[in-house]
Amino acid sequence: MSKKALEIKELKREFKMGSETVRALKGITFDVEPGEFVTIMGSSGSGKTTLLNILGCLDKPTIGDYFLDGVDIKKLNRDELAQLRNHKIGFVFQSYNLLARTSALENVELPLLYNKGISVSERRERAMHALEAVKLENRFDHMPNQLSGGQQQRVAIARALVNEPIMILADEATGNLDSRTSYEIMALMQELNATQGKTIVFVTHEPDIAAFSGRTIQLRDGIIQKDTKNENPRSAKEMLAALPVTDDYKI
Amino acid sequence: MNFSNLLRIAYRALLRNKLRAFLTMLGIIIGVASVIAMVAIGQGSKQSIHDQLSSMGTNMLTVQPASNLNGGVRIAGASFQTLTSKDIDALKNHPQYITELSPSVSSKGQAINGALNWPTTMTGVSPEYLDIRKLSVKDGIPFTQNDVLTSAKVCLIGQTVIDNIFPNGENPIGKIIRFGHIPFQIIGVLSPKGFNTFGQDQDDILIAPYTTVQKRILATIYYSNIYASAASEDVTDLAVTEMTNKLRASHRLRDSEDNDFTVRTQQELIATLSSTSGLLTVLLTVVAGISLVIGGIGIMNIMYVSVTERTKEIGLRMSIGARGKDILLQFLMEAILISITGGVIGVLLGFLSTQIVTMTLGWPTIISQSSVVLSFVVCAVTGIFFGYYPAQKASRLDPIEALRYE
């Protein structure tokens, strides 16, 4: 059996709020195989954000196990978790979180600065390579305020790719974008998943977006309500082509 | 994370907000520049005070006959005759303490040039006297050891005497004047020294070889004073002890007897000098301290605001793999970069403003290396000290909350 990208067993997370204990996750078990494209859905209060924080190694479960690429994160301290995030996870956020007044290239280079043993030239080369993967190599010297929302999100995806992580973890990555740009981002995600075999875990509350993935995990009240395989995901590229052309946009 | 990455991260973060970085730096820039300029002005005035005091001869030693008991009656020191050529011989050859020696005898009298006359004092000394008293000959030449040996009738003349007996501006060099019925040829004019602190006119003087005054005017074998130069200000006390011992031996005093002479130093001058420079040092230390604190508070203030303002950035950095230590070092490095850059600019500005002060106000200034080094070190220390707490605050943020921060 090949190594799983993610292994989650009986995972629980509780928060103390004064005298009350809030049980955000009440026992969740699932695996993600390398190369899978999974969406995690759920309304607010379903434990989606808590799960995302744990998947992103920003938080640890109260009870239960989480293995990321075979590493038991319970045994790691704060600094080791940071290293793990650097090497194995690429975050994509709803609000892009690019550094202002910093060029696209330097934004993409950022994770490599926290990775020891990468030379200046290698860093530049890998950042350019990541920008090519999101088709923004011509805009490498643009500042975030000179880029559209979709372009900014693509820079953020390049930043997530640059350290060659095990998993890309997207948090409502299309939440701030219009449908056309959302499809564009999803097309990019599908392409990365299909051609480069990247494992993608995409947290969203839009069923529309979930239809692009190969598997959907539905959370409700801290437990998995549904875990469905989608044998025939929609192609974002085709959706994009079907949209009426209303402006000068071209992919 | 290696050092060059750390430097790059901090440097880029500062470039992202140039104005903020500059405003933070401003406190340091002004602090360092003012310290350097203040110290330069302070040192300059200290040096000029020192020069003025040295012109009076700060390492000059004077031996005077002391009051003494003579059959139960105290006799005034000045009229007591004890100092002779034997004492000069006894004091010679101690170059580690005493570099120059001159006996001195003086006589009051009228200086006469034709119909004009002026009451003045003729001091008989050896050629070394000019060095000891920091006197110099403006025109003509000083007399020599040979003039001393021959009791030559030559003299040096002070400006006040010239003004009174050569009122029409003629050149006094080579002229013959009379003093105490003896004709003296004027061979040199002393550079004017003005009035001393006691209101005495230091230019109302004639200087001649001591042998001339002793033999031709006073007919005495005694000296009224002996002047000497200590090798340096530092050995003055040793020189006094040495001279006292030699003179006691020369005067054959028993242990039970008091000294029949006193050796006086310029201690008051030296004390004035050190108290002046001490006061300046204290003032400048205070200025340096205040500027340090103000600059440091500026850094701490901005860094605190900056940590709050950049919470989301910190969250992002943590989420992509920055450890708490990396964040701490980044903010610390930003603070150090700010203070060092501010320090460099401050040093340049300090040099510039010092030059401007010298050129426009004509104040003497001396830029001391120690003030440059000190203010620079203080800068770096300030950066680390005041940058540490904000940096620590940043490093302890929870990445989840930092990312959600709006």
| pLDDT at residue A27 tops 70 | yes
Question: CA B21 to CA A101: how far, in whole Å?
Answer: 14
B321 and A53: CB-CB below 8 Å?
Answer: no
Query: In chain A, where are the structural domains located?
Result: 6-242
Render pLDDT for B33-70 as a digit per residue (tens, 0 to 9).
888 888 888 778 777 777 776 666 677 888 888 766 55
Give the pLDDT score at A119.
Answer: 87
Q: What is the CA radius of gyration of chain A?
A: 18
Render pLDDT for A73-90 as a digit per residue (tens, 0 to 9).
999 999 999 999 999 999
Question: CA A108 to CA A97: how far, in whole Å?
Answer: 12
Alpha helices (H) along B266-323: 267-309, 311-319
B109 and B141 together in one domain: yes
Max mean pLDDT range (A58-62, B97-101, B249-253, B261-265): A58-62
Mean pLDDT, residues A216-233: 91
B33 and B98 together in one domain: no
Give the pLDDT score at B74.
Answer: 63
B75 and B23 together in one domain: no
The residue that leads in pLDDT, A49 or B2, is: A49
B36 and B69 together in one domain: no
In the numeric block, which tokens belong to residue B227? 């002047």
Chain A residues near residue B9 by CB distance under 8 angstroms: 113
CA–CA min distance A57, chain B (Å): 9
In this complex, is the C-beta atom of B325 within 8 Å of any C-beta atom belonging to chain A?
yes
Interface size between A and B, measured as CB pairs under 8 A:
68
Whole-number percent of chain B with pLDDT over 70:
92
| pLDDT at residue B1 tops 60 | no
Q: What burial class does residue A232 get, using C-beta atoms within 10 Å of its C-beta: 0-12 exposed, 13-18 middle, 19+ buried?
A: exposed
User: What is the value of pTM for the model shown?
Assistant: 0.71
Chain B residues near residue A121 by CB distance under 8 angstroms: none
Plot region of A29 (φ>0 → left; ψ -120 to 50 → alpha; else → beta): beta
Domain that holds residue B185: 60-265
In the numeric block, which tokens belong to residue B82? 């004890």
Render pLDDT for B14-30 as a digit per residue (tens, 0 to 9).
888 888 889 888 888 88
Closest-approach residue (CA) in chain B for A55: B319
Mean pLDDT, residues B100-119: 90
Q: How many helices (H) and strands (E) does chain A have?
A: 8, 10
Question: CA A213 to CA A201: how far, in whole Å?
Answer: 9
Nearest to B112 by CA among B165, B154, B155: B165
Give the pLDDT score at B76.
Answer: 57
B319 and A111: CB-CB below 8 Å?
Answer: no
Among A82, A91, A159, whose Cβ lies nearest the Cβ of B323?
A: A82
Nearest to B126 by CA among B209, B206, B221: B209
| 3-state class (DSSP) for residue A68 | strand
Q: Are B48 and B363 in contact (CB under 8 A)?
A: no
B333 and B248 together in one domain: no
Q: What burial class does residue A157 get, using C-beta atoms within 10 Å of its C-beta: 0-12 exposed, 13-18 middle, 19+ buried?
A: buried
| pLDDT at residue B216 tops 60 | yes
The residue that leads in pLDDT, A94 or B69, is: A94
Q: Are B39 and B52 in contact (CB under 8 A)?
A: no
Helix (H) or strand (E) holding A41, with range, is strand A37-41
Number of domain units in chain B: 2
Mean pLDDT, residues B198-217: 88
Which residues are CB-contacts of B93 (< 8 A; sequence separation ≥ 6)?
Answer: none
B124 and B182 together in one domain: yes
Whole-number percent of chain B with pLDDT over 90:
24
Average pLDDT, chain A: 89
Render pLDDT for A146-181 as a digit per residue (tens, 0 to 9).
999 999 999 999 999 999 998 999 999 998 888 889
In this prediction, residue A127 has a pLDDT band, given cuts at 50, 70 and 90, of: very high
B231 and B215 together in one domain: yes
B68 and B48 together in one domain: no
Nearest to B208 by CA among B160, B162, B158, B152: B152
Helix axes B311-319, B267-309, angle to 10 degrees: 70
Say how many C-beta atoms besides its own lie within 10 A of residue B231's C-beta.
Answer: 17
In this prediction, residue A1 has a pLDDT band, given cuts at 50, 70 and 90, of: very low
Residue that finishes a domain, picked among B265, B292, B309: B265
In the numeric block, which tokens belong to residue B285? 């230390």
CA–CA min distance B348, chain A (Å): 30
The residue that leads in pLDDT, B211 or B362, is: B211
Among B2, B321, B403, whose Cβ lies nearest the Cβ of A82?
A: B321
In the numeric block, which tokens belong to residue B242? 């040495």
B29 and B117 together in one domain: no
B320 and A87: CB-CB below 8 Å?
Answer: no
Mean pLDDT, residues B183-203: 84
Chain A residues near residue B325 by CB distance under 8 angstroms: 79
CA–CA min distance A247, chain B (Å): 33
CA–CA min distance A83, chain B (Å): 5
In this complex, is the C-beta atom of B404 within 8 Å of any C-beta atom belonging to chain A?
no
Alpha helices (H) along B118-266: 129-132, 145-149, 159-165, 210-212, 236-250
B259 and B276 together in one domain: no
Among A79, A106, A110, whose Cβ lies nearest the Cβ of B320?
A: A110
Nearest to A37 by CA among A201, A206, A241, A197: A201
Give the pLDDT score at B56.
Answer: 65
Mean pLDDT, residues A181-210: 91
Question: CA B8 to CA B31: how far, in whole Å?
Answer: 27
Give the pLDDT score at B275.
Answer: 75
Residue that finishes a domain, picked among B265, B292, B325: B265
B246 and B356 together in one domain: no
In this prediction, residue A116 has a pLDDT band, given cuts at 50, 70 and 90, of: confident
Say how many C-beta atoms besides its own lie within 10 A of residue B219's C-beta.
Answer: 7
Render pLDDT for B342-384 as a digit per residue (tens, 0 to 9).
989 999 999 999 999 889 988 888 888 888 888 888 887 888 8
The residue that leads in pLDDT, A218 or B287, is: A218
Type of residue found at A222: G
| pLDDT at residue B229 tops 50 | yes
The length of chain B is 406
Give the pLDDT score at A118.
Answer: 86
Max mean pLDDT range (A3-7, A242-246, B63-67): A3-7
Say how many C-beta atoms besides its own lie within 10 A of residue A21's C-beta.
Answer: 10
Say how many C-beta atoms besides its own lie within 10 A of residue A216's C-beta.
Answer: 21
| 3-state class (DSSP) for residue B261 | strand
Q: Are A127 and A112 in contact (CB under 8 A)?
A: yes
What's the topology of domain A6-242?
Rossmann fold (3.40.50)
Question: CA B34 to CA B40: how far, in whole Å?
Answer: 10
Question: CA B348 to CA B309: how far, in whole Å?
Answer: 32
The residue that leads in pLDDT, A2 or B105, is: B105
B75 and B156 together in one domain: yes
Give the pLDDT score at B379.
Answer: 80
| 3-state class (DSSP) for residue B106 | strand
Question: CA A177 to CA A187: how far, in whole Å?
Answer: 14
B16 and A101: CB-CB below 8 Å?
Answer: yes
In this prediction, residue A12 has a pLDDT band, given cuts at 50, 70 and 90, of: very high
Average pLDDT, chain B: 84
Give the pLDDT score at B303.
Answer: 86
Q: Alpha-carbon dihedral of residues B77, B79, B82, B87, nearest 10 degrees?
A: 80
